[in-house]
Structure formats: C-alpha cells, structure tokens
Amino acid sequence: MKVVLCSLLVAALTHGVDAKLHNSAVCVTGRTSSPVGGTAWSVSYNWQKNYEIDVKATQCACDYYKQRNTGNNQWDKCEDCTFDGLQCNSAGWHIGGDEMEYYCSEKCGAQGSEAN
C-alpha cells in the first residue's frame, strides 16, 4: 500500500506542465462576455463569449506558429500547422493556447485567440 501511495505522489509531483493543446485555433477581436440563463444563484446561470474571427490575424499567427522551433515540447513546433481560410489547424494537436494567444495579440494585431 505504501508503494502505491508513494508512486502516486511521485507521479503527481513530477507531472510538470499541464499544457492546453489544441488542433484548431483562431485570432479574435471584439470579444465580450454576457450572462445567459437563470439568475445569478441558479445552477443554469452561465456566461457566453461573443467575438469576431480575425481571418487576417489568424493567418498571420498560423504562419508564425508554423515557423516556431523553441524546444522539444509538443507545443514548441507545429510543422503540420495549416491555415484553411478561417482557422489554424494542427492534426497532431501542436497548438498551445498561450503561444497562439501571444502570436495573435502581440504579433498579429488581434485582441486574443480562441481554440477548441
């Protein structure tokens, strides 16, 4: 029993980064959030996001991400990144959320990014 608990503890401590990886992402502008459903104390109370997809910025960010080569983690390279006219896609799930946010907002002039 001690071995199992020790193994679980070691696994939990050595897990490291919990990256949020995606296979598609877009750059957005005009992002807003608004409440939907129920009252503030209701279990059905929720928030919805509204935004416009910035196609030009998405293509820009996708091109930046395709050229990226910053290490050996899954999100450090995206050789399979392709722009399909609307979104940036990666069949190998190489798109990191933070990285796409950076390219969209800092390099390509969008407000931010959204991904699956």
Residue 31 within any structural domain of the chain = yes
Digit-coded pLDDT (tens) for 33-74? 888 887 778 777 888 999 999 999 999 999 999 999 999 999
Residue-range definition of the domain harbouring residue 37: 21-115
Residue 4 within any structural domain of the chain = no
Give the Å distances, CA to CA, from 108 to 3, 47, 63, 105, 112: 51, 27, 10, 6, 10
Residue 1 within any structural domain of the chain = no
Based on the structure, what is the number of domains in the chain? 1
Local confidence band at 18 (pLDDT 50, 70, 90 cut-offs): low
Residue 14 within any structural domain of the chain = no
| Residues sharing a CB contact under 8 Å with residue 6, sequence separation 6 or more, in sequence order | none
Global pTM reads: 0.77
